[in-house]
Structure 1
């Protein structure tokens, strides 16, 4: 009986760990030969810290003044569903870093690129890689639309006392 429970627990842990892997893995006809290669995988080159916009399509995010209340509500709804389990609105680290002051530390473009382009940011952006070393947990790609990410940014701005 104990062995059966151990096997079930082991399988559940294995499935959980596998599901946390890269969801963008593509299947190809020569996938077996790709995994059998003895050459080391190419290490992504980090983007220098001076690139405050990060890696992704957002190069110029227009902010609203005053804050857009509809976006704040939508951002909080998305936060409650997809972000709150790992991020607190304070500066306290949960699984990921707390969000208090994030709009003071990061540009709007960097935040939007990180939310919508998580995997590439973690692979190539030096600041994102530094956060990963501290948190030790890779943020999963939430597959958010651009407008969802923009609403989260507005919610973050309100949390940071922006007007």
Structure 2
């Protein structure tokens, strides 16, 4: 009985690691994402971390949010089903990572986009992210999302939080 449990847990662990996309993929997705990230100039360095903006190229000046875009939210949902839902739920319930309920109310859209496209520096610098890491005990892997993917996920998070 114990051997079966260990075998099942090993398989589940391997699937979780594979689903989170921890490794570098070969192909154009990573190369395209890296190229597009280097083409857009980063926000000016202020010498200190701004917990309201996060660490990355997105800021209030280059992320515009208006009325909910249902088509973009639909695309964000599809991306989240592939890249995010192995670790996150859309409720406030913790799975591996924290639940998404209320995320778009607690954080600015550009902060969310900086975090999901640039998680490592934010984990290292952001006090709220570090507090979540102490609860969840697992660092969010870089999913190599494009800017458009990140924006679509933000729109899906807004829809999940009831934005009309």
Report the counterpart of residue 117 of structure 2 in structure 1: 116
Report the counterpart of residue 51 of structure 1 in structure 2: 51
TM-score normalised by length of structure 1:
0.69
Q: Count how many residue pairs are aligned between Structure 1 and Structure 2.
A: 126
1:89 match: secondary structure = coil
Q: Distance in 2 between matches of 1:104 and 1:68?
A: 17
Deviation >3 Å, runs of 4+? none
Q: Distance in 1 between matches of 2:56 and 2:93?
A: 27
Residue 66 of structure 2, aligned match among 61, 64, 67: 64
Equivalences for residues 7-156 of structure 1 within 5 A? 51-60=51-60, 61-65=63-67, 67-156=68-157
Q: Distance in 2 between matches of 1:81 and 1:161?
A: 22
TM-score normalised by length of structure 2:
0.69
Q: Distance in 2 between matches of 1:23 and 1:126?
A: 26
Q: Give a deviation string over 1:111-156, Cα, whole Å, max 9, x none.
A: 0000100111111222211111111001111000000000000000
Q: Distance in 1 between matches of 2:71 and 2:91?
A: 22
In structure 1, the gaps of 5 or more residues are 1-8, 25-46
Question: Radius of gyration: which is bigger?
Answer: 1
In structure 2, the gaps of 5 or more residues are 1-6, 25-47
Q: How far off its partner does 1:101 sit? A: 0.5
Q: Distance in 2 between matches of 1:51 and 1:75?
A: 24
2:82 match: secondary structure = helix
